Amino acid sequence: MYLFRLLKIVGVALRFGLDEFLRGHQRSSGLHTALRIALFWRNLSAPRAARLRCALETLGPIFVKFGQILSTRRDLLPEDIADELAKLQDQVPPFSGDDAIAAIEHAHGKPLKDIFRNFDRTALASASVAQVHLAELHDGREAAVKILRPNIAKVIRNDLELLDAGASLMVWLWSDGKRLKPHEVVAEFGRHLDDELDLMREAAHASQLRRNFAGSPLLAVPEIYWEYCSTEVMVMQRMRGTPVSRVDELRAQGVDIPKLARAGVEIFFSQVFRDGFFHADMHPGNILVSPAGQYIALDFGIMGSLTPTDKNYLAQNFLAFFRRDYRRVALAHIESGWIPADTSVEAFETAIRAVCEPIFDKPLKDISFGKLLLRLFQTSRRFNMPVQPQLVMLQKTLLNIEGLGRDLDLDLDLWATAKPFLERWMSEQVGWRALLRQVREEAPLWATTLPQLPRLIHRALNEDRVAPLQKQVEVLQHEQRQLRRSLVLVAMLFALSTALVALLIWLR
């Protein structure tokens, strides 16, 4: 089976002319000439990036998902390939309703009729790792049931091994192979798939995001029905809305499209800077819109997180960008450790200005974040900035927001929309507002600890903790006495030797 899968991958690669990527390496020059003669019948008129996308689609869903993840690594890929891989769509035929029911009954250990009042055997949506069915609980609540594909873990494990073998081949045959870090990319892809294979983890992600936006008019997140969830089955509230890509339908429903576009930007910055926890797969297929103009998030398999330090430095960077304070951007990169400490601030400032200055005062329709990010990564590589894993998902999400904004409102001014939010957030992190917030957060701890202080002090005085300290003091006092005696002895010896020398001089 493994050998058959490997042969299929090689066959698809040759069919779409992916051997072209091996050009430029001395080990592959003769091989490439032989393949070109033997496979003269191939039609290679399409660009290399388009052929790579078609090859991944032919190989199946896991390779499609790998291409999607790879498309976010614009720090590693040529621009044409990254743009083409971003077009990959995770469209997979559903597995049968019988298999879905078997998976549910296996997860719960009882018949389907004891779990749901009604269950739709036809899948509502299907992707590479799981698919979704509609159901009704016995208490009347409508539910969406997400079920992992049968034996998907084994398929993923085998394909990951093949991808890793392909990474080794890339390093050996391709002149630019080492710089692209293919093994690291495959490992990163494997971590994402591990997250998606545990639906309890995805349910926890959804629950956290729902709590972060509780009562928000901007974003709705389905409730998780925990008593029905397992690692292979997730049951949640059914959400009703219109896909965000159907702009004409949304307009017909009376939704304010420009307002919707601005709300998307605010949701993004709220997740990143307020919560440090964000939906990292916000493509149009995972977003609905209610008739009231509220976003509805779906599919929580891929989430990103940031530390307070990362949030702070990112906010400083964004705010400095909006104010065109490129020196502050350069300093923030150095202070955060994202670039080496010995980097010239002036040189880095000049490089950033050359990248960012041309995009200001332009609407979204005149800005390509893909090209902007590519130039930023090229600049960072010149200054030896290593890839920051925690920022890769943020980059992917920002590109999704760009695409979403283009679908909704090409005249959206991203800078003008985001700047007030960031300024408000920064004002809450420093000054008296930050002090009040910290007091509120620490007050419960103080209220618990302060009444206990007298008892804790009394216990510390009565416990035998003072004895070791007293013993150390006695040892030090003894050493001081010994030192004084030694100094007196040395002084006496010095005086005696001096007297002897004087006596010898006098006798001569």
- Residues designated catalytic: 281
3-class DSSP assignment, residue 456: helix
| CA–CA gap between residue 141 and residue 329 (Å, rounded) | 50
Q: How many CB atoms lie within 10 A of CB 8?
A: 14
Handedness of CA 240, 245, 251, 255 (dihedral sign): positive
DSSP 95: P
Q: Are 35 and 20 in contact (CB under 8 A)?
A: no
Give start and end residues of each alpha helix (H) in 197-336: 199-212, 247-252, 257-269, 308-322, 326-336
What are the residues facing 145 on neighbouring strands? 133, 235
| CA–CA gap between residue 20 and residue 7 (Å, rounded) | 18
Angle at which helices 152-173 and 2-15 pack, to 10 degrees? 50
Closest CA to 189 of 231, 230, 147, 161: 161
- The amino acid present at 365, given as its one-letter code, is K
Q: b/e for 318-330, b at 16 or more Cβ within 10 A?
A: bbbbbeeebebbb
Helix (H) or strand (E) holding 446: helix 431-449
| CA–CA gap between residue 26 and residue 250 (Å, rounded) | 56
Q: Are 42 and 17 in contact (CB under 8 A)?
A: yes
Closest CA to 149 of 189, 67, 205, 90: 90
Residue 388 class from Cβ within 10 Å (0-12 exposed, 13-18 middle, 19+ buried)? middle
